[in-house]
Structures are given as C-alpha cells and as structure tokens.
Amino acid sequence: MKWTVVGYWGAYPEKGEATSAYLLEQDGFRCLIDCGSGVLSRLQTFIDVTELDAVVLSHYHQDHIADIGVLQYSWLVQNSLHNRNRKLPVYGHVEDKTGFLALTHQFTEGIAYHPDEALQVGPFQFTFIQTNHPVPCYAMRITNGDQVIVYTADTSFKQDLIPFSREADLLVSECSFYHGQEAAKAGHLTSSQCGELAAKAGVKQLLLTHLPHFGNRAVLQEEAGRKFSGIIQLAHEGWTWQG
Ligand SMILES: [Zn+2]
C-alpha cells in the first residue's frame, strides 16, 4: 500500500499548500484520510478528484474537514458533466451529529464507523482508538493484511497509543509542538512525545506531520530523534511511503 501526504499543516494551510490529508492507495483503490483546507486543489496534483473511492475522517475540526463541502461540489459538477450517478462514501464517527450529517450530499454518502468495530474500506482494514483531544477524535490503525500504518490524528500523549501503534511499519504522528512546550493543554503532541511513542511501540518508521507554523521545523526531527533511533522524516506535500 502507498501513503502520500497531500496536506500536512496544522490549523491552516501555508501559501499554496493544505492542512491534513493523506492519500492511501492499493491496487487502484484510492482512499483519502482527512480532508482539510486546500486539499481539493492540492489533491489534483496526484489524482483526479473523481478517482477517489472513499474518504475516512478522524474528527470534525476544520483543519481535517474544511474541504468536504467543495469535494461534494466537485462530485456534483463532474457527475453532472459526465451524466454519472457515482456516490462517494465518506466515513466519519457519529459523536458529532451535525458534523456527521454534513457528510451526506447529492453524490456523497456519510457512513458511520463504530470505533469499537473494525471497518473494511476496499483493501484496507481500519481499527480505531479514541484520542485525547478537545472533540471526539480517532486514531487509525490501517492494514492491508500485510503492512500496518498507524495515524495518530490529533491527540495529546496517551499510553493506549503505544500498544495501538505496536510494530507499525509506518507511524504517522501529529507533531504540533516542540519539546518542552505545553502541547497537552491543546490536545496535541510535542516532537519528543512523538519520538517516545515511536520508540515504545517499536515502529519501523516515523513521519511527523500536522506541523506548527512557528520555529525551525527541522528541530522537531532532532528532538524526536533523541527518543527514537529509527527513521524519522518531516511531512511535506508529495512525501510517499510504499510498503
Ligand atoms: Zn483537531
């Protein structure tokens, strides 16, 4: 399976870029994980928007869902132009009723995932764990039966994330703050906590994402590296992992 970073900023996108969104692909099946601001524009660097087969959302903060509305418009326009009736499934949790209901539109269908149950989306099986965040948010462990990718979504440090991330081939961890900053109050992780999580879970590789708009971001990598001796990289648009 292949993981491509479409957007990696926390909060808002910097010029010409996007907030949280990742393209997960295997055997021609294309699943978008989160759909933040700027994503519709940036996604077209990689695929046509109508080539998506599914969307899975971690939570309903704007930097993870802001472009759902324009994704719906793009499917409306393209279906109308091509006289098609294709519907795009958009998976979300139902703990925010308003957020969940907004996933359904003429050519998109909001589908509830139940965090205690595994979810099969094309070739991918998702399992979930609730994170520590100001609104209900779910981390995802994704497997194709062979490789494992864990995406923390947004969270402060939580012990349960260690067994959840155990021996993942790739850990995609939010990294909103630098070492020593008060990340937990905002429901986020520091760089060193990302490194600690990666080390304790014994993952193969760590990708730092959901990056802050301040400081020298190369330092995030160094700080995580004091805790984790495996491969650590900083997300950028177009970064890919293939297992
Ligand atoms: Zn959030």
Q: What is the pLDDT of residues 165-222, one digit of tens each?
A: 999 999 999 999 999 999 999 999 999 999 999 999 999 999 999 999 999 999 999 9
pLDDT at position 74, please?
98
Alpha-carbon distance of 237 to 243, in angstroms, equals 19
pLDDT at position 19, please?
98
- Ligand 1 centroid vs 147 CA: distance in angstroms? 26
- Ligand 1 centroid vs 85 CA: distance in angstroms? 33
**Positions in the chain short of pLDDT 50:** none
107, two tokens: 């050519």
pLDDT at position 36, please?
98
- Ligand 1 centroid vs 7 CA: distance in angstroms? 14
- Ligand 1 centroid vs 177 CA: distance in angstroms? 14
Alpha-carbon distance of 45 to 132, in angstroms, equals 33
pLDDT at position 175, please?
98
Buried b (16+ CB within 10 A) or exposed e, 100-116: bebbebebbebbebebe
- Ligand 1 centroid vs 224 CA: distance in angstroms? 21
- Ligand 1 centroid vs 44 CA: distance in angstroms? 24
Alpha helices in 146-186 (DSSP H): 161-164
pLDDT at position 210, please?
98
Among 174, 217, 165, which Cα is nearest to 194's?
174
- Ligand 1 centroid vs 69 CA: distance in angstroms? 18
